[in-house]
């Protein structure tokens, strides 16, 4: 009678057991695998915040437990039944508090069964920039200012540093009313600053300048400059009435158009050259104006109200209207 022999490979079984134990240990160490409350923390730009400390207090303000968010901003809590105050904290962000109540302390391995879903929680960066101008059109060689307000909305003193990324040959710096600023230190509040950019004389391109605010967190803001050649005679002033007549000692209203034919934003002062003793005021509608702002390709309609010298003799008189 023949006999069948079976050989037991202990080495393979041992390796399999080690592999299973190792996988379970890594999973349990890296993430909370059970719980009864969860949520996700994002910053005010929609980015996940990793390693936010979650301090869990009971009604007696005793610290019960501490958890941290994952790299995707997700957290899950395993707690007994009761009411808890949760404090979310990380340097560079405004702390956030919320109270939750668990009617049941039964812990689930499936987060869909958690009795408390806190959804998405937003934590604000403590440093914030507000600015009204993000893009400008300028001539080569121009010095451009992008004013901005830097605010610290947190409770800690901040010492941010300013780092500017710009194309080769472009000169940049952050300035206040006194001069260049490389780093500031300030408590809760705001300060007025500006990004100063010198456009190279030979540049005729559109470029981005990136301002990095480096504190507890790094935030970046992009400003754009389009460098174009200024057209000659880009400002045109005209009237449909180059020659008019008027009665003696009467006033005269002359409609004028001022056009910006160039590619740059213009601020123009209204002026004139008149015979001695004459007077003129400029109006848009019923409002008297001394200067106007014109975007590229924009035209403004203005009325020049002319008052001649009293008792003037009859004759021809030359009037010049200027927009400088």
**Paired residues of 181 in beta bridges:** 174
Q: Which of 1-5, 273-277, 291-295 has the highest mean pLDDT?
A: 291-295
Contact 117, 38 (CB under 8 A): yes
What is the per-residue pLDDT across 108-119, written as a single tens digit (0 to 9) for each?
A: 788 888 889 999
- What pLDDT was estimated at residue 9? 44
What is the per-residue pLDDT across 259-271, written as a single tens digit (0 to 9) for each?
A: 988 777 788 888 8
- What pLDDT was estimated at residue 100? 93
Say how far apart CA 11 and CA 20 lie, in whole Å. 14
Mean pLDDT to the nearest integer, 303-307: 88
From-to residues of CATH 2.60.40.10 in the chain: 32-123, 127-227, 235-323
pTM: 0.58
Mean pLDDT to the nearest integer, 224-238: 77
- What pLDDT was estimated at residue 10? 43
Is the confidence at residue 61, as pLDDT, over 50? Answer: yes
- What pLDDT was estimated at residue 86? 96
Say how far apart CA 189 and CA 291 lie, in whole Å. 35
CA distance readout (Å), 268 to 58, 132, 201, 206, 265: 66, 22, 24, 25, 10
- Tell me the CATH number for domain 127-227: 2.60.40.10
Work out the end-to-end distance of the chain between its first and last CA atoms, rounded to an integer number of angstroms: 119
Say how far apart CA 189 and CA 126 lie, in whole Å. 11
CATH fold group of domain 235-323: Immunoglobulin-like (2.60.40)
Say how far apart CA 115 and CA 108 lie, in whole Å. 9
Which of 47-51, 233-237, 272-276 shows the lowest per-residue confidence on average (mean pLDDT)? 233-237
- What pLDDT was estimated at residue 317? 79
Q: Nearest 5°: CA angle at 216, between 215 and 222?
A: 50
What is the per-residue pLDDT across 63-101, written as a single tens digit (0 to 9) for each?
A: 999 999 999 999 999 898 899 999 999 999 999 999 999
Between 136 and 23, the more confident residue is: 136
Classify each residue of 233-271 as buried b or exposed e, where b means 16 or more C-beta atoms within 10 Å of its C-beta: eebebeeeeeeeeeeeeeebebebebbbbbbbebebebe
CATH fold group of domain 32-123: Immunoglobulin-like (2.60.40)
Is the confidence at residue 28, as pLDDT, over 50? Answer: no
């Amino acid at each position: 009678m023949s006999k069948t022999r079976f050989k037991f490979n202990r080495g393979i079984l041992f390796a399999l057991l080690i592999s299973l134990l190792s996988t379970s240990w890594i999973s349990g160490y890296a993430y909370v695998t059970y719980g009864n409350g969860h949520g996700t923390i994002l910053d005010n730009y929609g980015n996940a915040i990793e390693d936010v400390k979650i301090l869990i207090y009971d009604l007696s303000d005793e610290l019960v437990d501490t958890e941290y968010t994952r790299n995707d901003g997700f957290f899950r809590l395993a707690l007994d039944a009761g009411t808890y105050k949760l404090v979310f904290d990380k340097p560079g962000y405004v702390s956030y508090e919320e109270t939750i109540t668990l009617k049941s302390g039964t812990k689930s391995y499936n987060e869909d069964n958690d009795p408390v879903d806190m959804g998405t929680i937003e934590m604000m960066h403590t440093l914030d920039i507000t600015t009204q101008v993000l893009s400008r059109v300028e001539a080569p060689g121009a010095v451009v200012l992008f004013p901005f307000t830097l605010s610290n909305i947190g409770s800690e003193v901040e010492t941010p540093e300013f780092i500017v990324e710009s194309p080769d040959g472009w000169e940049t710096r952050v300035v206040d009313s006194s001069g260049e600023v490389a780093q500031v230190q300030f408590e809760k509040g705001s300060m007025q600053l500006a990004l100063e950019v010198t456009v190279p004389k030979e540049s005729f391109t559109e470029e981005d300048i990136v301002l990095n605010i480096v504190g507890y967190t790094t935030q970046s803001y992009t400003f754009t400059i389009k460098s174009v050649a200024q057209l000659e005679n880009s400002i045109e002033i005209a009237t449909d009435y180059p020659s008019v007549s008027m009665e003696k000692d009467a006033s005269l209203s002359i409609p004028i158009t001022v056009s910006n034919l160039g590619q740059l934003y213009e601020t123009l002062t209204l002026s004139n050259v008149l015979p001695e003793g004459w007077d003129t005021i400029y109006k848009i509608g019923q409002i008297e104006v001394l200067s106007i702002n014109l975007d590229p390709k924009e035209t403004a309609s203005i009325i020049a109200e002319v008052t001649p010298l009293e008792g003037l003799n009859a004759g021809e008189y030359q009037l010049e209207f200027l927009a400088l």
